[in-house]
Amino acid sequence: MAVTSRPKSMPKWRPAPASLIQQFAGAVERIPSVEQRKMFGYPAAFLNGNMFAGLFQDHVVVRLSVEDRAELGRTAGARPFEPMPGRPMREYLVVPEAVVDSATDLPEWLERARRFAASLPAKQAAKKGKKPSPTRKGRGQ
């Protein structure tokens, strides 16, 4: 009897609270040269095509340098960002609630994340259209 595997279903994600969306948008709009768009269906901030901060359910996540991750990681409530269990996104941490609730701390961490994104090479916009066909193996290649 053949074993069939069931496709993995996407987890059910909760929408971000309206108040958090407003708070995030207000903090991000003060940062120059930032593009706001969605990632995983949630508001996110990008610089030169690189995401550096966003919302996920009822959390703020930021992409930070090694040094800043270590510093924020010492704050109670900070943890690696895993949109799906066992699938962490490198360089991203969940921002502790105390930092999110602070009128000075959240903008500071968003700015640190923006600086890290500024240090990364710019991403090229993906070309829309046909996907390349997969290569055939064993056919004279």
pLDDT at 141: 46
In angstroms, the CA 138 to CA 140 distance is 6
Q: Could you tell me which residues come within 8 angstroms of residue 33 by beta carbon, excluding any fewer than 6 positions away? A: 47
Q: What is the pLDDT along the chain (141 residues), one digit of tens a residue?
A: 555 555 566 668 899 999 999 999 999 999 999 999 999 899 999 999 999 999 999 999 999 999 999 999 999 999 999 988 899 999 999 999 999 999 999 999 999 999 999 999 998 876 666 655 555 555 454
CATH architecture of the domain 18-118 equals: Alpha-Beta Complex (3.90)
pTM above 0.85, yes or no: no
What pLDDT does residue 91 have? 96
Beta bridge partners of 10: none
